[in-house]
DNA sequence: CAGTGTGAAACTTTTCACAGCT
DNA sequence: AGCTGTGAAAAGTTTCACACTG
């Protein structure tokens, strides 16, 4: 909602909130499942449940895309799939390179959901000469020396870094220099990139640490609860948790993209 | 947050904002690196740069933990490492089970940063009988039949699901029934869990789709930019991006935990 | 005087609740 | 009658800017 909405009320304008963007893939997945089961329409309530969010949030999110529902009825599944795909830029397909073909890189290469929606693994790249030529997930691994050529020849703009932490920044620099402008980083490092390049980070140990924090909290609360229960009368059962909601928050963080 | 903060101004009370919690692991990692280089103190500016956030945010975050800095000087690295570790519950170590030992599960089992900070892989579990006994990352894989016993015998409260999507909910149910209260889910599914169980989700294709959205946006802006540049005089270079910041947002999303 | 700690302002995201369409 | 679309309120997060302290 950055630039005013003053006029142009019809054609949904730009400026979809980042939090909404982060949820669109979730909706898309739920819708795709419905589509496969040939469900023709769905209400915000049902779709929200399938996506793990609440319906008010979902309706608000969709309102940023336009008015694609029918009052009293719900949303047309196929139509919404198309609209969200388009909004996410998945009507074209994006060639992606994966750099670092260890266990993780191989797992990513084998990941089916990859190809299924808008992405194509254009190349697998590894620094180990012994890997060169070896096929992983049916794609021959190429040596890092080829990186620049691969990026240019395939018009790759999205790169996935699955290397050890030590190599990540260097790989990142080369990717960016060769023209990549979006990076998904699995290495546990903060990457620095020039303006205009987006980096998203996936980090196992950070996720675990966040869980540990809450886990620890629960242990503490349990003790408090027992005490309270002992002191007071009876009703202490489900009274502890702070947030409830049917939500399944993404980002956990507000992960947000970071144009760096 | 929820319960008022009315009194108790002194001792840092409970209720650290979720967004702050999500960044603590980032700070911890940066601090650990400094510690290894034997750097004794660090300013909010330096540490923020290392963690990829801005210094105001970092100071605000630390203010929720207490006053651990020294005005005019900065923060004592060792002391902060300890305080953050304690806050995150990493002074104890958490036994973790990984269910689903495919490429991804193996990658996770081999992930070093795992053991390094507060977590211990208590067991690897897979449904394939052929895997049973086979060691991965030095740990023998056990069959799913043993799941409940493993959880109970090891006092596991954190589980990692790295199975195919189809098996995830079922595995989740068993983990929860056996006593697990925190789950890190790598399968592309929305898990439903009872109240009091936290789920965090890591999803490759969602991340890629978010990148695709921004990538598409860039392409559009580029065109607009060129047009504007042609029409106007000259200054259009770095004027495009909407957010700037040195930030490297986690969550990308607001991933947030979801007490479900 | 360099640099923390923090109120207050600005912005973003979520939730509420209901008018309005089909 | 039912369900969407959305203003408006509430909650959460980030940024600003400066008083205060070692």
- B13 in A contact zone (CB under 8 Å): no
Q: A62 with A119, same domain?
A: no
Asked if residue B251 belongs to a domain, the reply is no
CATH number at residue B135: 3.40.50.720
- Closest chain B CA to residue A196: B241
CB proximity B260 to A under 8 Å: yes
Q: Which domain holds residue B186?
A: 94-204
B18 nearest nucleotide via C1' and CA: D12
Whether B26 and A206 lie within 8 Å, measured CB to CB: yes
pLDDT tens-digit profile of B48-88? Answer: 999 999 999 999 999 999 999 999 999 999 999 999 999 99
Q: Average pLDDT in the A25-39 region?
A: 98
pLDDT at B181 over 80: yes
Domain shared by B193 and B98, yes or no: yes
- Tell me: do B121 and B74 sit in the same domain: no
- Of A100-114, B43-57, B199-213, the range with the lowest mean pLDDT is A100-114
CB contact under 8 A, A214 and B196: no
The answer to whether residues A78 and A106 belong to one domain is: no
Last-in-domain residue among A189, A204, A219: A204
CB contact under 8 A, B248 and A111: no
pLDDT at A219: 83
Q: Do A215 and B107 touch (CB under 8 A)?
A: no
Same domain, B115 and B32: no
Using the 8-state DSSP alphabet, how is residue B163 labeled? S
Whether B131 and B66 share a structural domain: no
Question: CA of A7 and C1' of C9: distance in angstroms?
Answer: 29
The reply to whether A75 and A104 lie within a common domain is: no
Domain boundary among A180, A204, A228: A204
The better pLDDT of the pair A227, B213 is held by B213
Kindly list the residues from chain A whose CB atom is less than 8 angstroms away from the CB atom of residue B50.
190
Residues of A with Cβ-Cβ distance to B2 under 8 angstroms: 242-243
**Does the beta-carbon distance from A253 to B87 stay under 8 Å?**
no
Max Cα-Cα span within chain B: 72
As a whole number, the mean pLDDT across chain A is: 85
Instruction: List B182's β-bridge partners, or say none.
Output: B158, B198
**Residue A221 in domain:** no
- Is B114's Cβ below 8 Å from some Cβ in A? yes
Assigned domain for B245 exists? no
Residues 24-83 of B with CB under 7 A from strand C: 43-45, 55-56, 59-60, 62-63, 67-75
Same domain, A199 and A160: yes
Residue A238 has pLDDT above 50, yes or no: no
The residue ranking higher by pLDDT, A226 or A44, is A44
Counted domains in chain A? 2
Do residues A96 and A159 lie in contact, with contact meaning Cβ atoms separated by under 8 Å?
yes
Closest residue to C20 (CA to C1') is A71
Which of A3-12, A124-133, B226-235 is predicted with the least confidence, judged by mean pLDDT? A3-12
For residue B101, CA distances in Å to A194, A245, B161, B165 come to 37, 32, 9, 14
pLDDT computed for residue A12 by the predictor = 45
Residue range A64-91, pLDDT digits in tens: 999 999 999 999 999 999 999 999 999 9
Residue A48 in any domain: the answer is yes
Residue A199 domain-assigned (yes or no): yes
Q: Are residues B197 and B104 located together in one domain of the fold?
A: yes
pLDDT of B208 reads 97
Nucleotides of D under 7 A from a protein CB: 1-8, 11-17, 20-22
User: B141 or A9: whose pLDDT is higher?
Assistant: B141
Domain membership flag for residue B45: yes
Among B39, B71, B88, the domain-final residue is: B88
| Cβ B232 vs Cβ B239: under 8 Å | no
Buried b (16+ CB within 10 A) or exposed e, A189-214: bbbebeebbbbbbbbbbbbbbbbbbb
pLDDT in tens, A180-212: 999 999 999 999 999 999 999 999 999 999 999
Confidence of residue A37 (pLDDT cuts 50, 70, 90): very high
**Residue B240 located in a structural domain:** no
Residue A230 in domain? no
Clarify whether residues B26 and B117 are in a common domain: no
Same domain, A108 and A75: no
Q: Which residue lies nearest C4, CA-to-C1' measured?
A: B71
Is residue A98 domain-shared with residue A141, that is, in the same domain? yes
């Amino acid at each position: 909602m950055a630039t005013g909405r003053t006029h142009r009320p019809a054609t949904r304008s730009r400026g979809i909130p980042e939090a909404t963007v982060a949820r669109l893939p979730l909706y898309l997945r739920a819708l795709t499942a419905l589509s496969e089961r040939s469900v023709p329409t769905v209400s915000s309530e049902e779709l929200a449940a399938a996506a793990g969010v609440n319906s008010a949030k979902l309706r608000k999110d969709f309102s940023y895309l336009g008015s694609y529902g029918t009052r009293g009825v719900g949303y047309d599944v196929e139509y919404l799939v198309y609209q969200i795909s388009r909004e996410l830029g998945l009507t074209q397909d994006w060639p992606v390179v994966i750099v670092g073909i260890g266990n993780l890189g191989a797992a990513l290469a084998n990941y089916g959901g990859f190809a299924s929606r808008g992405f194509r693994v254009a190349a697998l790249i590894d620094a180990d000469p012994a890997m060169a030529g070896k096929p992983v997930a049916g794609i021959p691994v190429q040596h890092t020396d080829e990186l620049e050529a691969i990026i240019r020849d395939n018009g790759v703009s999205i790169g996935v870094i699955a290397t050890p932490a030590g190599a990540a920044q260097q790989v990142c620099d080369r990717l960016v220099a060769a023209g990549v402008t979006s990076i998904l980083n699995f290495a546990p490092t903060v990457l620095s990139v020039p303006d205009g390049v987006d980096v998203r980070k996936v980090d196992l140990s950070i996720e675990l640490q966040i869980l540990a924090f809450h886990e620890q909290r629960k242990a503490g609360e349990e003790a408090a609860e027992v005490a309270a229960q002992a002191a007071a009368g009876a009703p202490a059962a489900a009274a502890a948790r702070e947030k409830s909601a049917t939500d399944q928050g993404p980002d956990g963080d507000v992960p947000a993209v970071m144009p760096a």
